[in-house]
Amino acid sequence: MPHRNLALELLNKLLNDEIKSTSKKNLIQSRSFAEMLEKTILRYQNRTIEATQVILELIELAKEMRTARDRGAQLGLSEEEEAFYDALEVNDSAVKILGDEVLKNLARELVETVRQNATIDWTVRESARAKLRTMVKRLLRKYGYPPDKQQKATLTILEQAELLGRDWAGS
């Protein structure tokens, strides 16, 4: 390929655009992919890898993104449920203790709870946020989520809920 730098910039732009579109629905996946892209580009800028190697790594990253996009269908989850599932799955000990099926059910119930309680101003009013935070904590306890990781999971779930809740509050 005569213009490797152009190909590299094009791939970088395409992946950034894909990450931006993912960030509107799935907070955890978008953070993960943005971090991977950033590390790869930084290694190239520091001259630790060549342009050809960067292009190959970016192509591999694009394949991982495509696989991640299709994962929800394989798990039998909607996009919203998959986003909450990813937020719960960040904690490895929770995955080991609870297992896939319990996490799927918890994600489904979280989507239902957030959707029912998303009012127009819930992201602004502290009382509405506190009510939702309490509901999330109850669900985590109900399903036996590890107590030492509940605080971080609650914050991550609320961030994901804010991301999706903007659309839900209007409907």
Instruction: Reply yes or no on whether the pLDDT at 31 is more than 60.
Output: yes
- Mean pLDDT is lowest, of 1-10, 21-30, 95-104, 148-157, for 1-10
Q: Mention every residue, 6+ apart, whose C-beta is less than 8 A from residue 11.
A: 55, 58, 59, 62
Dist CA 159 CA 110 (whole Å): 13
pLDDT at 168: 64
* 141 CB neighbour count, 10 Å cutoff: 11
Instruction: Tell if the pTM clears 0.85, that is, is over it.
Output: no
- In this predicted model, which residue has the larger pLDDT, 164 or 137? 137
pLDDT at 89: 84
Q: pLDDT (tens digit, 9 = 90+) per residue, 64-120?
A: 999 988 888 888 999 899 999 998 888 777 888 888 899 999 999 999 988 887 766
Q: For residue 71, what pLDDT is reported?
A: 87
In angstroms, rounded to a whole number, what is the distance separating the alpha carbons of residues 19 and 30? Answer: 5
Is residue 170 pLDDT above 60, yes or no?
A: no
What's the pLDDT band for 16 if we cut at 50, 70, 90?
very high
Q: With 60 as the cut, is the pLDDT of residue 171 above it?
A: no
Task: Quick: pLDDT tens for 111-155.
Answer: 998 888 776 667 677 888 888 899 999 999 999 998 888 899 999
Written as six digits, the tokens of 80 are: 């919203």
Residue 30: predicted pLDDT: 93
